[in-house]
Amino acid sequence: MTIQTRVAGVSDVGRIRKSNQDSGYTGYNLFFVADGMGGHAGGDIASALTTQSLAHIDENYHEASQASKALVNAMWSANSLLTQTVKDHAELAGMGTTVSALLFADTKAVIGHIGDSRIYLVRDSAVKQITTDHTFVQRLVDTGRITPAEALTHPRRSVLMRVLGDVEEFPEIDTQAIETKPGDRWMLCSDGLTGALPEDLMNGILLRETDPAEAADLLVGEAIEYGAPDNVTVVIVDVLPVAADEQPASIVKPSFLGSAANEVVIEVRKGARMLQLLNPRTITDLFTPDQETSSVVPESEEYLEKILKQTKTRIRNRWIRQLLVVLLWIGIAVGSLSAGYSYTQTRFYVGVFDGHVAIYQGIKESLGPFKFSHLYDVTGVDVTALPEYQQSLVADTVSAENLPDARRIVETLALLASHG
Ligand code: CA
């Protein structure tokens, strides 16, 4: 039996990104999405190169194992191609891509998958995710550290554990072969769809909209309604019933989606940096902050532990930082008080202590229980020896600019007292 399909594919740059780093392919037996990442121009090149290199295996396969082998080998070749391209063009360092592919072999749907793009199967009024994301948060979910709901908003949700183009020569590709039948609907998408759209809405569209082209348009349209912070790519493959005497339609024309549909990518590959600079979009990219949020890290338990430790350290550092801010404020407050107090101690005034004229250091004003002056010197001048007016002046205290000034005031008073 040969599978007959009705197919639709849509790729959109989304509302925030300046370039579409997603690619996709819809062919005869092969369908996939690839979500590129890395650098200013690397992401679109990675997904486009991969797409154009993978498309060559779109043939008839009689055995699922044969198709599976072809898929894995093609993905490994794409991986080498990316590594080699980076070797030739250092400016593309760090580029990589996800691939989620569906290759029909007889009545089997063979899946090849790496990264966080996804494949869903719609069957018997249910939508089921077939692939597992190779993301850091999925690992946290798998190991019971967070819930799937928490994963949706986790700040590290775009950290990938596996992609093509990474340093590894033969990255692990997830494969499965699933019996497919007429009525099945396969949906392949980049994380720009699943990240933007509520699951209920996505499932609703997949279940209700019978025309694959309309369903794909609706999904991408809704993702854009929801803000589409990332590129969005959707491929829908409906498996049709085939009458026994009917020849499978081969009028299908393979088509490339997203950046893979863009010829300039191949030119960039030959001309490297110069051609990238000639691309006006890339020139503006050079002057704006990098919006790339995806990154790839090696997949291992050690890394998982390391990243959790980093997070813990970050939390602790945040506490330390907050504490430092509080201490700094206290410091500033104490500093200004102490500066204020130092100022008061440059001042003197003349008053009375134990019936004698005395010199005080500081200011006579007080703030609640705080006094800003203390007795500096008690003179031999008896207050009662002073004329009445001077007695009341001294009782009210007489401000002095400084110590010599205070001494001068005391000398004047002493003179008055001796004449009294
Ligand atoms: Ca993406």
Q: What does the pLDDT look like over 203-215, one tens digit per residue?
A: 999 999 999 999 9
Q: Write out the CATH class of domain 2-284+292-298.
A: alpha beta
Q: Cα of 404 to ligand 1 centre, how many Å?
A: 78
Q: What integer pLDDT is reported at residue 278 of this predicted model?
A: 31
Q: Is the pLDDT of residue 328 over 90?
A: no
Q: Cα of 209 to ligand 1 centre, how many Å?
A: 25
CA dist., res. 334 & res. 321, Å (int): 20
Cβ contact 190:21 at 8 Å: no
Q: Cα of 322 to ligand 1 centre, how many Å?
A: 34
Residue 233: phi and psi, rounded to 5, are -135, 130
Q: Cα of 103 to ligand 1 centre, how many Å?
A: 22
Q: Cα of 331 to ligand 1 centre, how many Å?
A: 47
Q: Cα of 230 to ligand 1 centre, how many Å?
A: 6
Q: What integer pLDDT is reported at residue 280 of this predicted model?
A: 34
Q: What integer pLDDT is reported at residue 246 of this predicted model?
A: 55
CA dist., res. 272 & res. 403, Å (int): 80
Burial (Cβ within 10 Å: 0-12, 13-18, ≥19) of residue 176: middle
Q: Is the pLDDT of residue 408 over 70?
A: yes
Q: Which residues surround ligand 1, an ion (CB under 5 A)?
A: 35, 190-192, 230
251-281 residue pLDDT tens: 567 888 988 876 534 343 444 433 333 333 3
Q: What rounded mean pLDDT belongs to the chain?
A: 83
Which is higher by pLDDT, 3 or 197?
Answer: 197
Q: Is the pLDDT of residue 182 over 50?
A: yes
Q: Cα of 190 to ligand 1 centre, how many Å?
A: 6
pTM, rounded to two decimals = 0.66
Q: What integer pLDDT is reported at residue 238 of this predicted model?
A: 96
Can you state the angle between helices 64-88 and 42-54, rounded to 10 degrees?
140
129-145 residue pLDDT tens: 999 999 988 888 888 88
Residue 314: phi and psi, rounded to 5, are -65, -40
- Sheet holding 185-189: strands in order across? 4-12, 232-240, 185-189, 118-123, 126-129
Q: Cα of 22 to ligand 1 centre, how many Å?
A: 7
The winner for highest mean pLDDT among 192-196, 298-302, 402-406 is 192-196
CA dist., res. 257 & res. 276, Å (int): 20
Q: What percentage of the chain carries pLDDT values higher than 90?
A: 45
Query: Quick check: helix, strand or coil at residue 114?
Result: strand
User: Measuring CA to CA, which residue among 83, 94, 91, 97 is closest to residue 268?
Assistant: 91
> Which residues, in sequence order, are bridge partners of residue 119?
188
User: Measuring CA to CA, which residue among 43, 17, 47, 44 is closest to residue 32?
Assistant: 47
Q: Is the pLDDT of residue 348 over 50?
A: yes
Q: In this structure, what is the dihedral angle of CA atoms 326, 331, 332, 334, given to the nearest 10 degrees?
A: 120
The set of residues, in sequence order, having a beta carbon less than 8 Å from that of 271 and lying 6+ positions away, is none
The domain spans of the chain are: 2-284+292-298, 300-342, 348-418
Q: Cα of 297 to ligand 1 centre, how many Å?
A: 16
The winner for highest mean pLDDT among 55-59, 125-129, 145-149 is 125-129
Q: Cα of 265 to ligand 1 centre, how many Å?
A: 18
Q: Is the pLDDT of residue 39 over 90?
A: no
238-256 residue pLDDT tens: 999 876 555 555 456 788 8
Q: Please name the amino acid found at residue 403.
A: L
Q: What percentage of the chain carries pLDDT values higher than 70?
A: 84
Q: Cα of 231 to ligand 1 centre, how many Å?
A: 6
Neighbours of 245 (CB within 10 A): 5
User: Measuring CA to CA, which residue among 225, 183, 181 is closest to residue 202?
Assistant: 225
Q: Cα of 171 to ligand 1 centre, how many Å?
A: 20
Q: What integer pLDDT is reported at residue 134 of this predicted model?
A: 93
Q: Is the pLDDT of residue 290 over 80?
A: no
